[in-house]
Amino acid sequence: MKHCPMHTLGRALRNALSATALAACSDNLVQPDASISDTGGDNLASPDAAQMATDSNADDDGSTTPDDIASSEDAPTTDADTASEARPSNLRTTADVRWALHGGRLVSGRMTFAVSTRFAPGSNARSHIVEAAAWYTDPAADVGLTVVEAPPMSVAELFPSEAPTVARMDYLDTRAADYGGFPCHRQPDDVSCGSWVMNMCPFWSSGDWGGGGTNPRQSFVISANAGCYGHASDATSGDYPKSHGVAHELGHGFGMIHTPDWPEADRGLLSTMQGRMPILTAYDLAFLRRKYPALDAPEVVDVAASPVSRLTMGSGYDNCPFGDFDGAPGMVADEVYVADGALLDCATGEPPKVAVTWFNLGTDPVPGLAVAFRMRRSSGGQPAILDAWTTAPMPRESQDHWAGPLVVPPDLLAAVPVDVPLRLEFAVDTGDGLEESDEDNNSVTAQMTVVASRAACRPRSGTRPCATLVP
Ligand SMILES: [Zn+2]
């Protein structure tokens, strides 16, 4: 790839440069690769039951829902002046990903997405679907979902023999008489949710639904198993497919495959394909930009603090939510205390360990990002900055993460109030150097309480799977 020095310039300066010069550089940033025409690597006609079970469980876990990250109502205030020395970088870039082994694609990334009125317009269930669909509108990729209304449909209507012209989403009742015609999961009468909860069923260019078709796919149907969601039979129920689950299925629709099906070397990257991601990650956007390259794509410089860190866990990886504390030794505690001028974890008596991941979602490298841990009263007010530093330069579509003890200098600790509900925040920002199109995802938050002494720590039990993180 040709190096384009303009990518390191500030947005304002680049805007002042000629459009022609920028276009010459932009061409490189969205160069298609050989995987556009690949015909293999897609075995997602029937996502496996284990993954579906994970998808379902994720719905019960409110800790990483968009509501949590939306609670950071203030724009990050971090700037370079508050940053201390750099931390070791664990940069992972998508530049070397073998995209041909990461799934297929649709004929066109611009789809009409017909959503059943069983997800009623104006309802929360509909909002989650609309939100997830909006994540797939990326200015640097030729993708986009236009959500329209559709009446509830039978299996025959959802999966017609002729090529469908739109993508769809509806509940599917496994007890209905025509369930045997469902081309993706034929287990009879599955109301136990053991084999599937949500499913993406593709229609291939070879004219087939389900497995065994020939790439590229022309369209897809996302089905939610009516037996697995209370909302399917009670419109007032809050048990409906959530945005992160819908986004996962949409990822399948666009051609993505589960992380365990990726080449080994790529599995450390975060993706909606691992589940539980209330945001599209650097990897996810890179996938869309490689598989659906946009001509004349704008240069986009967005950064994001991830609500999830993907950590080495034993021989594999696991996603650990920021704020998934609850007494897990090794992860940041939800309850801490102050002793001898230090902030300590009630669970361990040591400085609380934290794990954070941040992204460059852009097509541009970011010269350096300022990141910070902050704490503030849940009721609002100015944050106390606990720790801040400037990270390594981020290549385009990359992620970095850091894990370690949160050691708070005594003078900063003095600003942290005791015995009131607090929010621990992790924020990432480009400061004033670059203008972003979206600042809404630049911080993540978690509840935390500081008690007066270790004697005041409340007893707790149990641990979480993210207890043994490896940076
Ligand atoms: Zn899946």
- Segment 21-43 mean pLDDT: 25
Q: pTM for the full model?
A: 0.79
Unique residue bearing structure tokens 């409906």: 240
119-133, 159-173, 266-280, 425-439 — which is least confidently predicted? 425-439
Whether residue 77 has pLDDT greater than 90: no
Collapsed DSSP state (helix, strand, coil) of residue 228: helix
Same domain, 79 and 164: no
- The confidence score (pLDDT) of residue 170 equals 98
Contact in structure between 433 and 10 (CB atoms under 8 Å)? yes
Same domain, 131 and 184: yes
Residue 468 confidence class, pLDDT cut points 50, 70, 90: low
Q: What is the CATH number of the domain that holds 339?
A: 2.60.40.10
What's the DSSP call for residue 294? P
Gap from CA of 59 to ligand 1 centroid (Å): 14
Gap from CA of 45 to ligand 1 centroid (Å): 10
Gap from CA of 90 to ligand 1 centroid (Å): 27
Gap from CA of 242 to ligand 1 centroid (Å): 14
Pairing of strands 335-339, 316-321: unpaired
Gap from CA of 249 to ligand 1 centroid (Å): 6
Gap from CA of 104 to ligand 1 centroid (Å): 14
Beta bridge partners of 448: 422
- The confidence score (pLDDT) of residue 46 equals 30
pLDDT tens digits, residue range 198-241?
Answer: 999 999 999 999 987 888 999 999 999 999 999 999 999 999 99
Whether residue 183 has pLDDT greater than 60: yes
Residue 81 confidence class, pLDDT cut points 50, 70, 90: very low
**Rounded CA separation 82/443 (Å):** 17
**Rounded CA separation 371/387 (Å):** 8
DSSP codes joined into one string, 22-39: HHHHHHHHT---GGGG--
Contact in structure between 99 and 287 (CB atoms under 8 Å)? yes
Gap from CA of 42 to ligand 1 centroid (Å): 12
Q: What is the CATH number of the domain that holds 162?
A: 3.40.390
- The confidence score (pLDDT) of residue 88 equals 77
Structure tokens at 248: 């996962």
Instruction: Tell which residue, 120, 182, 179, has the closest CA to residue 152.
Output: 120
Gap from CA of 197 to ligand 1 centroid (Å): 10
Same domain, 305 and 404: yes
Whether residue 17 has pLDDT greater than 60: no
Same domain, 57 and 132: no
287 sits in which H/E element: helix 282-291
Gap from CA of 200 to ligand 1 centroid (Å): 8
Gap from CA of 429 to ligand 1 centroid (Å): 31
Q: Which residues of 21-39 are buried (b: 16+ CB within 10 A; e: fewer)?
A: ebeebbeebbeeeebeebe
Contact in structure between 346 and 13 (CB atoms under 8 Å)? no
Write the single-letter amino acid at 231: H
Gap from CA of 47 to ligand 1 centroid (Å): 5
- The confidence score (pLDDT) of residue 426 equals 93
Gap from CA of 196 to ligand 1 centroid (Å): 10
- The confidence score (pLDDT) of residue 188 equals 60
Same domain, 333 and 406: yes
- Segment 420-438 mean pLDDT: 82
- The confidence score (pLDDT) of residue 195 equals 81
The mean of the pLDDT values for the chain is 77
What's the DSSP call for residue 112? E
108-112, 314-318, 323-327, 438-442 — which is least confidently predicted? 323-327
Structure tokens at 379: 């009721």
Same domain, 411 and 320: yes
Range of the domain at 137: 104-255
Write the single-letter amino acid at 8: T
Gap from CA of 191 to ligand 1 centroid (Å): 19
Of residues 50 and 255, more confidently modeled: 255
Gap from CA of 92 to ligand 1 centroid (Å): 23
- The confidence score (pLDDT) of residue 108 equals 96
Write the single-letter amino acid at 204: W
Whether residue 458 has pLDDT greater than 60: yes
**Rounded CA separation 461/347 (Å):** 10
Same domain, 120 and 77: no
Of residues 145 and 324, more confidently modeled: 145
Same domain, 132 and 156: yes
Structure tokens at 450: 């500081």
- The confidence score (pLDDT) of residue 117 equals 98
Residue 2 confidence class, pLDDT cut points 50, 70, 90: very low
Domain count, the chain: 2
Gap from CA of 176 to ligand 1 centroid (Å): 24
Gap from CA of 220 to ligand 1 centroid (Å): 14
Q: Residue 42: inside a domain, yes or no?
A: no
Whether residue 422 has pLDDT greater than 90: no
Gap from CA of 219 to ligand 1 centroid (Å): 17
Gap from CA of 97 to ligand 1 centroid (Å): 20
Helix 282-291, helix 243-254: angle, nearest 10: 30
Same domain, 57 and 108: no
Same domain, 13 and 126: no
**Rounded CA separation 169/49 (Å):** 19
